[in-house]
């Protein structure tokens, strides 16, 4: 069973990875990925400010949060 730190790190890396795969680093003015995992509940909040990006910032942020959740789901599946 993964520990809380591993869950948070996995989620954060997945969210950041998705953002950087879809938005050029030079277009990112600000990004904040906040992940908490308490009592078995994962909370992922992603803020992205990339006004020069080709993609909609909110869509990328939402997709990053979903990627984080999916990565954590995979982590728990692999552990079982």
Element at 43 (helix H, strand E): strand 41-49
Confidence of residue 41 (pLDDT cuts 50, 70, 90): very high
Would you tell me which CATH number, out of the four given (3.30.70.20, 3.10.20.30, 3.30.300.100, 3.40.630.40), belongs to the domain 4-79? Answer: 3.30.300.100
pTM of the model: 0.93
User: What pLDDT digit, counting tens, does each position of 64-78 carry?
Assistant: 999 999 999 999 999
Give the N- to C-terminal CA distance of the chain in Å, as an integer: 7
For the chain, the structural domain boundaries read 4-79
> What is the CA angle 42-21-31, rounded to 5?
55
User: What pLDDT digit, counting tens, does each position of 22-31 carry?
Assistant: 999 999 999 9
């Amino acid at each position: 069973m993964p520990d809380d730190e591993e869950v948070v790190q996995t989620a954060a890396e997945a969210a950041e990875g998705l953002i950087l795969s879809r938005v050029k680093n030079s277009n990112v003015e600000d990004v904040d990925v906040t992940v908490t995992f308490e009592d078995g509940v994962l909370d992922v909040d992603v803020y992205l400010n990339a006004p020069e990006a080709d993609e909609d910032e909110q869509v990328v942020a939402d997709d990053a949060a979903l990627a984080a959740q999916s990565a954590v789901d995979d982590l728990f599946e692999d552990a079982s």
